[in-house]
Amino acid sequence: MPTPCALVLRNVSLPEGRVADIGVREGMVVHVGAGEPADCTIDCTCLMVLPAAVDMHVHMRGGAQSAKEDWGSGSRSALAGGVTVVVDQPNTIPPIASPDALRARVFDAKDHSLCNFAINSSVTFDTPVKAMWSAGALAFGETFYAPSSYGEAITKEELAAALRDIHACGALATIHAEEIGPGEDPDIAAHDRIRSGAGEVRAIHDVGRCNAAGCRLHFCHMSTAASVSAAGALGSVEVTPHHLFLSREQFRADDPLGKVNPPLRSEKERRDLWAAWDRIDIIASDHAPHTPVEKQVPFEEAPSGIPGVETMVPLLLAAVLENKISLTDVIRKTSQAPAELLGIPPAGFAPGSRADFALYPKIAAPIDPDTLHSRCGFSPFERLPAVFPRTVILGGDVVLDDGEFFPGSPTWFAGNGYLPR
């Protein structure tokens, strides 16, 4: 008698078209086929089953910023959007700039996160790169080549030195490439002008010139088709749902809810970005929550940032149901590609894969911010069609079902340089 699987997902439509049962034991996929005995089964007929997403650009906040988000609320928001791995960005208060800060961040996440997580190191003029790598940083950045909310820019010389050190570790540098022009930004059009698409392309080229070392580069939140091309020539390319689904014309001129870096672009540029879909390696949310009170101030005073970890895959799946993009592409860009780039064990349908899945109905509904889980409480994606998961599985355990969360066994994914103390 074979050992029964802990869980079998029955009648799963695999991306290549075949229907199969997926058997899971000890957090891993162990069998793809039919007829495995199981302690627990879930019938997936009529559902879209996806390997759960890795969101490689999430600001989980916490500490002094807990009114915006913390590991508890942020990880619930991730799971409710079919994301089981978040890569936390280091522009916390204080920033993740020392091994002790990184270790404290890992402890906080271990105590409070409901989903898997990894922590990036900040890149400042004095980041102890080698020590951060040994302490378990997954990657370096986002590196602020232009200032943004809670992120101070570094100079070209500092960037070149940091890239040398990061390269020596064999690690990945993730880059926030922008150029800031002169003038004020009293509204969304001015914000787009000052932090322009053309400036973004120039910043990408500048970063390339600073990389004599040949460090592996990843360009965060590319906001135009031209930026996608420029960044793709130098490294991997990330695009956010907000640059794909929102344009500045959809917001009142002085509405800070649409304020983000890089800015929302014009409707034409948004359509052009979709036309570059095949050249986008990774979709990540740049989940950057702020409280409504912080946002309800004059535009130029408001912090930049849009929440999005929960709505990322749901928005993309609505586009799949509209036959705009393929399910295979969504799986590639939200799960396989980020796992490969970062060295995280992949979730998927093959034996040996991490058994993280999200099960979605084949019907879209308008986004209602009141049903989302981020503490910030608002969503600029309100009313757009989206498909939210009915069930989410992490390491073979059901951690979300019909709106109810259950405890699982989340894991910390340390970088390849990690040396336990």
User: In the annotation, is 286 catalytic?
Assistant: yes
Distance CA 188, CA 190 (A): 5
Instruction: Answer whether 92's CB lies under 8 Å from 122's CB.
Output: no
Instruction: Answer whether 352's CB lies under 8 Å from 331's CB.
Output: no
User: Of the candidates 124, 149, 229, 291, which one interacts with ligand NCD according to CB under 6 A?
Assistant: 149
Of the candidate spans 75-83, 198-206, 300-308, 400-408, the one that interacts with ligand NCD by CB under 6 A turns out to be 300-308
Q: What are phi and psi of 27, to 5 degrees?
A: 80, 0
Of the candidate spans 32-40, 47-55, 149-157, 308-316, the one that interacts with ligand NCD by CB under 6 A turns out to be 149-157
Catalytic residue among 286, 370, 401, 402: 286
User: Of the candidates 23, 62, 151, 314, which one interacts with ligand NCD according to CB under 6 A?
Assistant: 151
User: Of the candidates 285, 304, 335, 374, which one interacts with ligand NCD according to CB under 6 A?
Assistant: 304
Which residues between 176 and 235 bind ligand NCD (CB under 6 A)? 176
Here the tokens at position 27 are 């957090």
CB of 88 to ligand NCD, least distance (A): 11
Instruction: Answer whether 381's CB lies under 8 Å from 309's CB.
Output: no
Bin 40: left if φ > 0, else alpha if -120 < ψ < 50, else beta.
Answer: beta
Distance CA 374, CA 8 (A): 31
72: enclosing H helix or E strand: helix 71-80
Residues in Cβ contact with 284 at an 8 Å cutoff, skipping those fewer than 6 apart = 55, 56, 57, 58, 220, 221, 238, 239, 240, 312, 338
Distance CA 122, CA 221 (A): 17
Q: Of the two residues 25 and 221, which places its CB atom closer to ligand NCD in the complex? A: 221
Distance CA 290, CA 19 (A): 43
The 79-98 site mask, x for binding ligand NCD (CB under 6 A), equals: ------------x-------
| Interface with ligand NCD: number of residues (CB under 6 A) | 15
| Residue 253 burial (CB count, 10 A) | 13
The 56-75 site mask, x for binding ligand NCD (CB under 6 A), equals: ---x----------------
Give CA torsion, residues 309, 71, 59, 274, to 10 deg.
-10
Beta pairing class for 365-366 and 53-58 = unpaired
User: Of the candidates 260, 358, 364, 376, which one interacts with ligand NCD according to CB under 6 A?
Assistant: 260
Partnered with residue 8 across adjacent β-strands are 23, 41
- If one asks whether residue 384 binds ligand NCD (CB under 6 A), the answer comes out as no
Of the candidate spans 20-28, 96-104, 302-310, 382-390, the one that interacts with ligand NCD by CB under 6 A turns out to be 302-310
Instruction: Answer whether 120's CB lies under 8 Å from 112's CB.
Output: no
- If one asks whether residue 261 binds ligand NCD (CB under 6 A), the answer comes out as yes
CB of 259 to ligand NCD, least distance (A): 7
Of the candidate spans 105-113, 187-195, 244-252, 301-309, the one that interacts with ligand NCD by CB under 6 A turns out to be 301-309
User: Of the candidates 286, 310, 356, 397, which one interacts with ligand NCD according to CB under 6 A?
Assistant: 286
- If one asks whether residue 148 binds ligand NCD (CB under 6 A), the answer comes out as yes
User: Of the candidates 23, 74, 305, 314, which one interacts with ligand NCD according to CB under 6 A?
Assistant: 305
Beta pairing class for 19-25 and 7-13 = antiparallel
- If one asks whether residue 150 binds ligand NCD (CB under 6 A), the answer comes out as yes
CB of 357 to ligand NCD, least distance (A): 29
List of residues contacting ligand NCD (CB under 6 A)? 59, 91, 142, 148-151, 176, 260-261, 286, 288, 303-305
Positions annotated as catalytic residues are 286
